[in-house]
Amino acid sequence: MTLLEGILWLTLNIYHEARSEPQIGQVAIAHVTLNRAKQKNISIKDVLEQPKQFHWIEKKSYIPHNIPVFFQCMQSALIAVSTRDFTAGATHFHLVTKKPKWSTNLTFIDQYGSHKFYR
């Protein structure tokens, strides 16, 4: 996978998971994706295609409908790949309004925007 393909997949994930978030929340989502790729030594696309991880990819709803927002998400992706991970290695996140069972087995890191982050 080329760097450009990786940025595209990372941008799509930010767009579908956090397009309404402030930039810090978008970059945090990107770091989770990057951390998973690094931890498992797989591509960003492979991270996203793992079963039951990202709802949007299971629905095959890849095409962004708001192009200006898509480009804002791309900016967040570029920031994430060019800056230090401030999530302390987070590999999971969920909306603050949810309480998934898996979250009790992980270490809470912080909240960025409307998502809580764990490793």
Q: What DSSP assignment string belongs to 93-113?
A: EEETT---GGGGGS-EEEEET
Neighbours of 52 (CB within 10 A): 6
pTM above threshold 0.75: yes
Q: What is the DSSP letter of 61?
A: -
Contact 30, 38 (CB under 8 A): no
pLDDT, tens digit, for every residue of 56-89?
A: 998 877 889 999 999 999 999 999 999 999 999 9
Q: Which CATH class is domain 3-87?
A: mainly alpha
Q: Which residue type occupies 17?
A: E
Give the mean pLDDT of the chain: 95
Domain assignments of the chain as residue spans, ordered by start? 3-87
Contact 29, 49 (CB under 8 A): no
Q: Which residue type occupies 93?
A: F
